[in-house]
Amino acid sequence: MNNFTHISDIEDLQVAVKEAIDLKQDELKFKSLGKGKTICLLFFNNSLRTRLSTQKAAQNLGLNVIVMNFGSEGWQLEFEDGVVMNQDKSEHVKEAAKVIAQYCNIIAIRSFAGLTNKEEDKAEQVINSFKKYAGIPVVNMESAIGHPLQALADAITMEEFKTKHKPKVVLSWAPHPKALPHAVANSFIEMMQLKEAEFVITHPVGYELDSEITKNSKIEYNQEKAFEKADFVYVKNWSSFKNYGKVDNIDASWMITSEKMKLTNNAKFMHCLPVRRNVIVADEVIDSKNSIVIQQANNRTYAAQIVLKKILE
Amino acid sequence: MNNFTHISDIEDLQVAVKEAIDLKQDELKFKSLGKGKTICLLFFNNSLRTRLSTQKAAQNLGLNVIVMNFGSEGWQLEFEDGVVMNQDKSEHVKEAAKVIAQYCNIIAIRSFAGLTNKEEDKAEQVINSFKKYAGIPVVNMESAIGHPLQALADAITMEEFKTKHKPKVVLSWAPHPKALPHAVANSFIEMMQLKEAEFVITHPVGYELDSEITKNSKIEYNQEKAFEKADFVYVKNWSSFKNYGKVDNIDASWMITSEKMKLTNNAKFMHCLPVRRNVIVADEVIDSKNSIVIQQANNRTYAAQIVLKKILE
Amino acid sequence: MNNFTHISDIEDLQVAVKEAIDLKQDELKFKSLGKGKTICLLFFNNSLRTRLSTQKAAQNLGLNVIVMNFGSEGWQLEFEDGVVMNQDKSEHVKEAAKVIAQYCNIIAIRSFAGLTNKEEDKAEQVINSFKKYAGIPVVNMESAIGHPLQALADAITMEEFKTKHKPKVVLSWAPHPKALPHAVANSFIEMMQLKEAEFVITHPVGYELDSEITKNSKIEYNQEKAFEKADFVYVKNWSSFKNYGKVDNIDASWMITSEKMKLTNNAKFMHCLPVRRNVIVADEVIDSKNSIVIQQANNRTYAAQIVLKKILE
């Protein structure tokens, strides 16, 4: 594998999921694979799980890790071609990417959506510029429109907890006071489209995600109907895609409650975290034995580790 | 040892002090103890000595170290139960603590007192929440009301510099322009209560510390009288406990001068640092040969190392 | 070598350059040299190349690396003697330097010029205070008036790309919207004064650098004349030295264009980066095959590594 910027960069998702589960039995098995090599983790945004799990995964593979908060520790980057750089930005990504590539063997990047300009976000300027200029493998730690490491961890988690060959999986929108990106939902959908499952997306009318991503995935606007007989309920807020980046709806009736979970087939509750309790999900649900959010977070290490392993090999 | 959040978590202080002093002879002796294990250092506040010495101690034990400035790099945490999280805080400590525990073997935390609400600070919400939810060992790198790694380093330093079995040790308040927490003074007192010494606390009237901590320790309001025949003078400012978190007194006559040190039995001068020169202590004292503040800071490494060693074992 | 705060700390520049080039063939050759030792990288200012390359170099030598952003993570430092520290600064460099030296074997420091007080900047208060008090080797990662690691990388790069024994090297000023320090230009000049080359400095009238540094180096105010038959064009902006720290001139005609490069002997284009495209240099020049800025950045690792190697030995 050369880059991991999209879930489709993994040749065979099902095989990778199995390898990741095997890896959990002996996470230091490939300790010598990264010896003498370095990964740079570049954060343009805050992070908890991604920051820690990717470091852990890299250390498990024997990689040296250099973490950099690009916004506060480096220089403001210009991404446009041909600009006269006489304003605030003091370095062009052409130089930054090529230079960083001199000091490491893999670059991992987190750069969230701006949520103000749909076309800019869809262009994935930051991660694509690094891919274009770095000349070394680039890993997506959440870009403007995708979070494939999360989706891979989700796939691992569902594989571990599923009780039937073809489970029913519901991706449900839930309300949130602030505008959130579409990245997690997008990558979850793209991952689900590769799996054998009955997959349903549910959200209020007007909260449709990018149809280029949802494609033929089933959309059910009635949340309760969507929950019927579900084996997994995956919850996530996103801001409007149509009215780009806006919070049009904070309808509290979309929060996940135990009442709603009763409609399911004893479904497991999933969320990528961080999660706002009693806004996205009631305490009673996230604190229930059916909540697997912690196991899901734990799998972030093994998702990152299998990706880095494939890149190193 | 499971956690180290209070000096009393050490079973036998005197033995631990001796072990730490032995460790200084060969600080890499237990290099393989932490192999393949990871410690996360979580900073909610600034740090110099704690940040560097704890990293050094962990590396001496072969641990992988992940440092995170929680405030600027992560998400704002909610600590209250049952809250509808529709304000600024985007993650509950229940998830944060459990998640971080997936990625490491030990969590060390620095989270200072807010100094606005006495009961909240006394409840030690941050460190106690991590202890409650993480399920792995938690180390206190200065909490709202205690700084036991500092107290342990202080004990090591006094053991190295004492010239008699039962020295006289004075903890003296000194003036400071800004409100400082009680953590260092509290832990120093609790540590002294475990040692054979003649221990005296001196401070202006009204600057009494929490009586649940000072207990029967002697308080002498006359600083000069307290200094008489002292073998160690340990200086520290703290804000008012009664008039909680306020700076009621900046009486410069409480500054430590060489004149005052002449009242002592050639006492060693100690301070946890950072220290404001010519406010807390005159240059002539901190620059004198009796000042052991640098050796004291050096012992922070061995205090942390003996604690981490006991946790790993 | 005890400290590396100035290019003259290297006993024989030409030998060091050769050693660095050899090192590139097997960068992990001295992996065991730093074993069990620690370097602290202290940043008082932002950094990309220096941050990453110095970490890389240290890891190549087997050193443990502790990175600290002093401004945001530590305490504000006082550097003056005898001050009553009752204002914003909570720690004196006397303690800070001595304390940090307890936790590591080498201290590397970045602290830019303030550009408001010429005498203060020339006094190099930060790095000289650390040198004075730390008692362990100190490495300059760009100080108020010098950036010798950059100059050493520049020397390595010129050695690799030169096609004649005594090349013509031009240091050219170029315009920039904000006030920049003199450090890079100063160290480049001091390095060039140690080399066999025809060295010319070109800049607008009034932009003379410190004559104590330029000494007898040739200054040519006509940029085009300076470029004639040049083998290397090294470009850098600096603010006025005379009208200290001011931007008196942003004359766009000083930008490096391909037209100007045609006056040279097919010269290589060099810049320390970050560089503002189409302000300092036209896209056509930095994107040309004669641009060696990336190779120059890569040599930052080997400059740092040869310096750290000499200190460790």
| Complex confidence, ipTM | 0.96
Identify the residue whose tokens are 């505008």: A179
Cα A53 from chain centroid (whole Å):
13
* Residues A123 and A212 both lie in one domain: no
If you average pLDDT over residues B205-216, what whole number do you get? 97
pLDDT value at residue B50 = 97
* Of residues C85, C96, C102, nearest to B278 (C-beta): C85
pLDDT value at residue A47 = 95
Write down the mean pLDDT value for chain C.
Answer: 97
Q: In the numeric block, which tokens belong to residue C279?
A: 């302000």
Q: How far is A50 from chain B (nearest CA, A)?
A: 10
Q: In this structure, is residue B2 part of a structural domain?
A: no
pLDDT value at residue A282 = 98
Q: In this structure, is residue C179 part of a structural domain?
A: yes
If you average pLDDT over residues C196-206, what whole number do you get? 97
Q: Look at residue C71 and tell me whether its pLDDT is greater than 90.
A: no
* Residues C40 and C118 both lie in one domain: yes
Q: Is C152 annotated as a binding residue?
A: no
* Residues A192 and A52 both lie in one domain: no
Q: How many domains does chain C have?
A: 2
Q: In this structure, is residue A92 part of a structural domain?
A: yes
Q: Which residue of C has its CA nearest to A77?
A: C274
* Residues A104 and A153 both lie in one domain: no
Specify which residues C277 forms β-bridges with. Answer: C281
* Residues C117 and C184 both lie in one domain: no
Q: How far is A81 from chain B (nearest CA, A)?
A: 30
Q: Which residue of B has its CA nearest to A250?
A: B86
Do the Cβ atoms of B283 and C68 come within 8 Å?
A: no
* Residues A31 and A110 both lie in one domain: yes
Q: How many CA atoms lie within 13 A of B236 on its CB side?
A: 28
Do the Cβ atoms of C274 and A73 come within 8 Å?
A: no
pLDDT value at residue A189 = 98
* Residues A126 and A44 both lie in one domain: yes
C191 and C152 Cβ atoms separated by less than 8 Å: yes
* Residues C293 and C176 both lie in one domain: yes
Do the Cβ atoms of A46 and B99 come within 8 Å?
A: no
pLDDT value at residue B115 = 97
Do the Cβ atoms of B51 and C73 come within 8 Å?
A: yes
Q: Which residues of A carry a binding-site annotation for N(2)-succinyl-L-ornithine?
A: 142, 176, 236, 276
pLDDT value at residue B71 = 84
pLDDT value at residue A192 = 98
Q: How far is B108 from chain A (nearest CA, A)?
A: 14
Q: How far is B276 from chain C (nearest CA, A)?
A: 5
* Residues A172 and A141 both lie in one domain: no
Q: How many Cβ atoms are within 10 Å of C262's Cβ, its own excluded?
A: 10
DSSP C254: G
Do the Cβ atoms of C83 and B46 come within 8 Å?
A: no
Residues of chain A with pLDDT below 70 are none
What residue type is assigned to position C53 of the chain?
S
* Residues C61 and C100 both lie in one domain: yes
Specify which residues C171 forms β-bridges with. Answer: C201, C234
What residue type is assigned to position B39 of the chain?
I
Alpha carbons C299 and C150: distance in angstroms, whole number? 9
Q: In the numeric block, which tokens belong to residue C30?
A: 């001295």
Q: Which residues of A carry a binding-site annotation for carbamoyl phosphate?
A: 47-50, 75, 110, 147-150, 272-273, 300
Parent domain of A113: 7-146+300-312
Who's near B292: CB < 8 A, 6+ residues apart? B157, B161, B268, B269, B270
Write down the mean pLDDT value for chain B.
Answer: 97
If you average pLDDT over residues B289-310, what whole number do you get? 98
- CA dihedral sign, ordered C31, C36, C37, C38: positive
Would you place residue B179 in the very low, low, confident or very high pLDDT band (cuts 50, 70, 90)? very high
* Residue range A181-235, pLDDT digits in tens: 999 999 999 999 999 999 999 999 999 999 999 999 999 999 999 999 999 999 9
pLDDT value at residue A115 = 97
Q: In this structure, is residue B209 part of a structural domain?
A: yes
The CATH number assigned to the domain holding C249 equals 3.40.50.1370
* Residues A292 and A305 both lie in one domain: no
* Residues A118 and A160 both lie in one domain: no
Q: What percent of chain B has pLDDT above 90?
A: 98
Q: Directed axis angle between helix C93-103 and helix C125-134, to 10°?
A: 60
Nearest to B232 by CA among B201, B205, B203, B207: B201
CB pairs under 8 A between B and C: 87
Q: Look at residue C267 and tell me whether its pLDDT is greater than 90.
A: yes
Measured between beta carbons, which residues in chain B are less than 8 angstroms from residue A276? 85-86, 90
Alpha carbons A264 and A252: distance in angstroms, whole number? 20
